[in-house]
């Protein structure tokens, strides 16, 4: 967070574009940090009320990222067959690589939405004592 503030101040006074790129990179890392912090808070054994609420709130960016990824992936999955089959466009050179990328984005998004608001699975939680 401090690098975001410093980069904005440096950009304002020096007008170097490197500081804008520093801000963008720091912003992306802050989103990933919030996702990781939310996951850590949801995995606590006996969380307090504020930890539960904060863990839920920090799951929202993860769910939004997953939904965005799913929407882009589904758009790609629908677009490729439409361009090839429905329009019969002979000038379309996209191919089926975009279809595979769309399926990957859709599955990635579904995975992130699924994990956004629940605790992570640990094998120790589900072990059965046989002895």
pLDDT in tens, 27-82: 888 888 888 888 888 888 888 899 889 888 888 888 999 999 999 999 988 887 77
For residue 55, being part of any structural domain is answered with yes
DSSP label at residue 86: I
- Does residue 24 belong to any structural domain of this protein? no
Label residue 116 exposed, middle or buried (CB < 10 Å: 0-12, 13-18, 19+): buried
Q: Is residue 129 one of the residues assigned to a domain?
A: no
Cα–Cα distance for residue pair 123/120, rounded to 1 Å: 10
pLDDT at 115: 85
Domain assignment of residue 82, given as a range = 29-121
Q: Which residues of 85-95 are buried (b: 16+ CB within 10 A; e: fewer)?
A: eeeeeeeeeee
Q: How many separate domains does the chain show?
A: 1
Does residue 12 form part of some domain?
Answer: no
Stronger pLDDT, 3 or 74, i.e. the higher one: 74
Q: Residue 90 — very low, low, confident or very high, per pLDDT cuts 50/70/90?
A: low
Spatial separation of the C-alpha atoms in residues 80 and 83, rounded to whole Å: 5
| 43 within domain boundaries | yes
Q: What pLDDT is recorded for position 14?
A: 75
- Could you tell me if residue 9 is inside a domain? no
Find the mean pLDDT for residues 100-113. Answer: 90
Asked if residue 17 is part of any domain, the answer here is no
> Which has more pLDDT, 21 or 69?
69
Residue 39 located in a structural domain: yes
Model confidence, pTM: 0.68
| Higher-pLDDT residue of 98, 79 | 79
From its phi and psi, is residue 13 left (phi > 0), alpha (psi between -120 and 50) or beta? alpha
């Amino acid at each position: 967070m401090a690098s975001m503030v410093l980069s904005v101040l440096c950009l304002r006074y020096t007008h170097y574009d490197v500081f804008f790129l520093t801000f963008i990179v720091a912003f992306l890392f802050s989103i990933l940090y919030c996702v990781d912090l939310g996951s850590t808070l949801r995995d606590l054994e006996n969380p307090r009320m504020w930890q539960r609420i904060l863990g839920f709130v920090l799951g929202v960016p993860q769910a939004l990222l997953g939904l965005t990824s799913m929407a882009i992936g589904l758009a790609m999955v629908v677009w490729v067959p439409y361009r090839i089959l429905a329009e019969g466009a002979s000038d379309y050179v996209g191919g089926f690589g975009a279809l595979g990328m769309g399926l990957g984005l859709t599955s990635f998004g579904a995975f992130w939405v699924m994990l956004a608001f629940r605790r992570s699975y640990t094998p120790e939680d589900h072990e059965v004592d046989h002895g």
